[in-house]
Amino acid sequence: MTPPAPSLRSELAPPARRPFRVKVCGVREDAAIRRAAELGASFLGFVLYPPSPRFVRPERLGELLEAVPPGVRTVGVTVDPTDAFLEHVLAHAPLDILQLHGNETPERVRAIALATGCRVMKAIRVGEARDLEGIEAFFEVADMLLFDARPPRDAAWPGGHGLPFDWRLLEGLALPLPWALAGGLDAGNLAAAVALLAPPIVDVSSRIERAPGIKDLDKLEAFMAEARRLGALGPEEAQAC
């Protein structure tokens, strides 16, 4: 089973605007930060996992955050971070949200939230129905969930591969907290995703790049234009998470 094909865009386009917000992830450059914010992104994600080509050093991240306008939430993407690493990151970069994209248990998620005082977004890697088993354990300890495609078996990092998963696996899933849909989204398939799932947040990264870690501003603009057409809210319109 595969996600609805982009060719179904016209048939699946929602009959009415469905409010959602956009997270632009894997940002490393001032120009991309400014343009994403100008176009209405509500969240900007910064990868803090060294093997990733989108990695940003905590010291550099502190400088990048100076370009983020008020109201846009900043997200630090980590993978099984240690307490010492998180302390180092937050000493240089006062992030709003920590995205945990590794094998963190519910107990670890709770501990990180208590230790840092940050809101926590737990990523769930999805390839088949059994990957969703037990996610209820995160409902009381995470502030948000993010559903991303399970990475290729030999991948050196767990996200940002431009791969969609079978979105139908999430149909009918009752979630009591905000959540984001990630994995292979672009301007061509966003309408299908919104029509099928009406996600509160959509997360875009590698499909709007000209090279890993370098955002293509034309693709970013096309994605944000499509998002606005479908009902995306800007930071000034959306309540903070």
| Residues with catalytic function | 25, 148
Q: Would you list the DSSP string of 168-208?
A: GGGTT---SS-EEE-SS--TTTHHHHHHHH--SEEEE-GGG
The answer to whether the CB of 231 falls within 8 A of the CB of 194 is yes
Cα 22 from chain centroid (whole Å): 8
Question: CA-to-CA distance for 177 and 172, rounded, in angstroms?
Answer: 14
Calculated CA dihedral for residues 144, 205, 31, 240, nearest 10 degrees: -20
Distance (Å, rounded) from C-alpha 141 to C-alpha 119? 10
